[in-house]
Amino acid sequence: MRHSFLSTVFLLLAALSLTACSAGNAQVLEGTVTGIADGDTLYVLDAARKNHKIRLLGIDAPERGQAFGEKSRQSLARLTYRKPVSVDWQGHDNYGRILGRVRVAAPECRQTSCPKTIDANLEQVRLGLAWWNRKFADGQFPGDAQAYETAEREARAARAGLWSERNPVPPWRWRYANRNETDKVRP
């Protein structure tokens, strides 16, 4: 009995230290959104006037030319375009984009000092305009994978956005079917 209790305590402490290490490696980029590439990629201009390409961590939105691709892009634009954001990030993808969680103030707040309480990544999934990308769940910030999974499940149940289609094609499958020589990522 004592052995299993000590093992459980040890495992909990190890898990907490890994979570703290993962969250401790995060950096924050502050800036204003200057452009929207698609439903999961945007551009942020920082105070030093440097533009950064941000790939929304943990989600995959329909591509341009794919069903709901333009609606997803428009949704991200409504939520973030020309607004101050905070990007919590911890690395880059194969294309050199910053992988981050984008936080923005609530749309009804008109002041510049509003707290950035809306997770744009999560909002895209909640609206049914992006998939939660399970493949990269381990790279998400603590708690995000569970929140994104729940949001996707609820969007599916409500038949929101792309879930209104009978068999929506995930973007990773669509990209693979429509790939060209420059594509680096396979499903």
Residue 8 has pLDDT above 70, yes or no: no
CA distance 144 to 39: 18
Q: What is the pLDDT of residue 5?
A: 41
Closest CA to 125 of 40, 186, 28: 40
- Residue 182 inside a domain? The answer is no
Token pair belonging to 102: 């984008």
Report yes or no on 15 lying in a domain: no
For residue 20, tell me if it sits in a domain.
no
Flag whether 7 is in a domain: no
Domain that holds residue 51: 25-177
> Number of folded domains in the chain?
1
We report the CATH number of the domain holding residue 82 as 2.40.50.90
Compute the average pLDDT of residues 16-45. 79
Q: Which sequence positions are flagged as catalytic?
A: 55, 63, 97
* Weakest-pLDDT range from 106-110, 120-124, 132-136: 106-110
Q: Which residue has the tokens 């509003």?
A: 114
Residue 21: is its pLDDT beyond 60?
no
Whether residue 3 lies inside any domain: the answer is no
> Is 16 part of a structural domain of the chain?
no
Residue 112's pLDDT is 74
12 in a domain, yes or no? no
Task: Quote the pLDDT of residue 85.
Answer: 97
pLDDT tens sequence across 62-92:
998 899 999 999 999 999 999 999 999 999 9
pLDDT of amino acid 172? 87
pLDDT value at residue 2: 45
